[in-house]
Structure 1
Amino acid sequence: MSLQKQRQEQEKQLAFWELANQVAAEARKLLKYHRSLGVQVVIGGTRLPQEQRSMQANPCQILVATPGRLKDHLENTPGFSTRIKGVKVLVLDEADRLLDMGFRRDIEKIIAFIPKERQTLLFSATVPEEVRQISHVAMRKDYEFINTVQEGDEETHSQVNQMYMIAPLDLHFSILYDVLKKHVAEDAEYKMIVFCTTAMVTKLVAEVLSQLKLNIREIHSRKSQSARTKVSDEFRKSKGLILVSSDVSARGVDYPDVTLVIQVGLPADREQYIHRLGRTGRKGKEGQGILLLAPWEMHFLSTVNDLSISEAAAPSVDSSIQAVVKDAVTRVEMKSKESAYQAWLGYYNSNKSISRDKARLVRLAEDFSQSMGLQVPPAIPKLILRKMGLSNVPGLRSA
């Protein structure tokens, strides 16, 4: 698996960690007046002994877990496999995504540990063949299938006013700032999410927007679990905030009253575009989505042209705003720019339609470097270039 694919899989996994924490938070609200009942969360990225001590010291009638970490406890926590034999209800949430990420074997092992006499609930946004297969393993033969999307119901993205803007990379920061600033002025209760391609590009964009004095919070895989939880909780409860996020927030996590979602750069695929967009326009409310692309990314539009997405002219950003933005970019630390350049190159190198022409990829990466105010692209460690399959590619500097 390529380095960038590993990064993308990590982002997807972290999205499940966020979802697990959110589910546990909702469960605790429901048990507010039932003090004898406890909720525990076990997820990767935290220390196993810490979770072991917590489960021993506190009541646990509801356990929210990611499959890999739950399997860890079954295999490594003394007495856990015995306790889990008392389970009466098993819930598999986001089943299609769990299977897509390769958790089938973990799920099957977990099912083998728990009693056959139980209630099983399986939730899935889509029902591909693999979900049907796992339903035969997890559920009784006479299970009932309930489709909550009735014929004629509108999908979430159909309630969102979708637009795309095309502009050169060197204008993206200025256009993003202009769009955000106008939305802040128009809606005092604004609540926006800016999705970026990678964790380190997310960090860069958050730092630029923070330099521009916007009320920014940042969430991605390079943040600690406690930091992500803190930001996620604050954004969920507050208004007047802009969340700059990688795909850890793209699916499953419920942020109420999001007024605008902006996606900067090429989404990984059509499904990811839709899931990101689905953070707004929820529960019947209207929302707004903007996709900001460079001219050479326009091929992506052919994958979403059935979703009522229309072109909007990129705002004509005057020279004074461009100067302010350029100054903000200049103040961002060089280390952040170097990391963003490396991550950006890895991300677009993993896109087959772009990476097939390495010379073009290098030129585009140089354009991105210049958008950060760098005349000479940063050097990349030889090991990283080798993992990307870009060793000895002309135009790339190695360190």
Structure 2
Amino acid sequence: MSAVLDALPPRGRHRMLSRDFSRLWTAAAVSAIGDGVTIAAAPLLAAQLTDDPRLIGGASVAFTVPFVLFGIPAGLLVDRLDIRAAMVRVDLARVALLALLAAGIAGGWGGLPLLYVCLFLLGVGEVFFRNASQVLVPFITADSGLATANARVMAAQEAGSGFLGPLVGALLFGVAVALPFGVDAATFLCSALLVTRIRGGRPPAARPERTGVLPEMLAGARWLWRHHLLRSLALLSCLINIAGNAMLAVLVVHSRQVLHLSPFGYGVMLSCQAVGAVLASRFAPALTGRLGRERALVATATLIAASEAVLAAVPSPYAAGAALALFACGTVTWNVVVVVLRQTLVPRHLLGRANSVYRLVAWGGLPVGAAAGGLLAAAAGTPTVFAVGAAVMAVVAVALLRGARRQWITREDPA
């Protein structure tokens, strides 16, 4: 618990973190708890409605497909619109969606189709909101504080969605199946209220001149494609997301069929991710400074590969919890490094669009991984999914090691 408290942004500890950032951080923390509630409850609901791993994995596919379909349009909108007002509207739309899902479940007409539709639309909102919040951070935070700011947002997200949320979600699911989704709706409402209190943001002059939808979208794509470092990191992120989301999509099946856990036990196991995530968010900036960004990325890929290998080889709830902590530690450290690189290397007027193209490539691996994980688990069992994921991550680690020897980050960003 002390690690979680250390990850919070106490008043005065970092003067480069403004009050506006604190409001954004608090909004992220509150909504992350709601996300964790749904992260635990949605697969439990799907598993209650069907025993087919492919249909259970379909819930993850429904949530992540929008990352591919709407990534670039979301980036264009982020560059064009008032970021804060748009984030509030997205939060309020998600409140309505979750209220509808909760009502459908309580009324007896909330089956898999309604779950898929609501998760799909929630995914659309998530694509826009995450892109918008990352674009907003550099406008309300000094450059010297970007690594700390991003690490703290990730800590809040992981502590909420990976620790508190899953525990609460599993408990609420046992009380009433519809209750977790109603609680998530309330957290998005709180997030909307907090975002309305942010006073700073992108000045109108920083918005691009409107030259047409297609030319504006292509401008971000062309810039990213020509930037060798960020293009390569986007492709490697795609592979990481394929391996990681294949694992997460079938984890509920693994917990029931192999580990023999109850719904609450599944929530506890998920919460182990927060341990690694909070530790990584606390120490990743200093560790990255000590190791260098190249070697830090090699270490993250190695950690993720090791976590998947443990899940594949050791059918123990304790080993699974430790593996998930390692997995989260690796992914958060990866995100701290690459998000700061995007925020500092991409021109401010292109940040939303270049970010969206990066996410299109990187997040494109999420639905692919979820679908592949469900199919592979149905055919060969969940340990095979984890073993294949470990092999993919080993390939990523080797590619990163080659890049580290060439100092590919240092050469493009000497700072």
TM-score by length of 2: 0.24
TM-score by length of 1: 0.25
Tell which has more relative contact order, 1 or 2 (C-alpha 8 A, sep 6+). Answer: 2
Q: Decide which structure has the larger Cα Rg and report it.
A: 1
